[in-house]
Amino acid sequence: MTAPPPNEPPPSAGPPPPPLADTGAGDPTAPAGLAAVMALLGAALMVFSRRLARR
């Protein structure tokens, strides 16, 4: 019996591993959520600094 090609898993390996985009490391919602949190923090900081400047 010959070995399978390098780009294919052996028959006994079960299903192939999922692509890297499906593992959560490439979660498309993480940058958007981080941007939303940073925008809220920036707005709160601007309001706070304006209130301090009025005093």
Predicted confidence (pLDDT) at residue 25 exceeds the cutoff of 60: no
In a domain, 47, yes or no: yes
What is the per-residue pLDDT for 44? 95
pLDDT at residue 48 in the model: 93
Q: Give the domain extent around 51.
A: 29-55
Q: pLDDT over 90 for what percent of the chain?
A: 24
Residue 23 lies in a domain: no
Determine the average pLDDT of the residues in 10-17: 62
pLDDT above 70 (res 8): no
The answer as to whether 5 is a domain residue is no
What's the chain's average pLDDT?
73
DSSP the chain: -PPPPTTS--GGG-SPPPPGGGSSTT-THHHHHHHHHHHHHHHHHHHHHHHHHH-
Q: How many domains does the chain have?
A: 1
In a domain, 55, yes or no: yes
Q: Is residue 9 part of a domain?
A: no
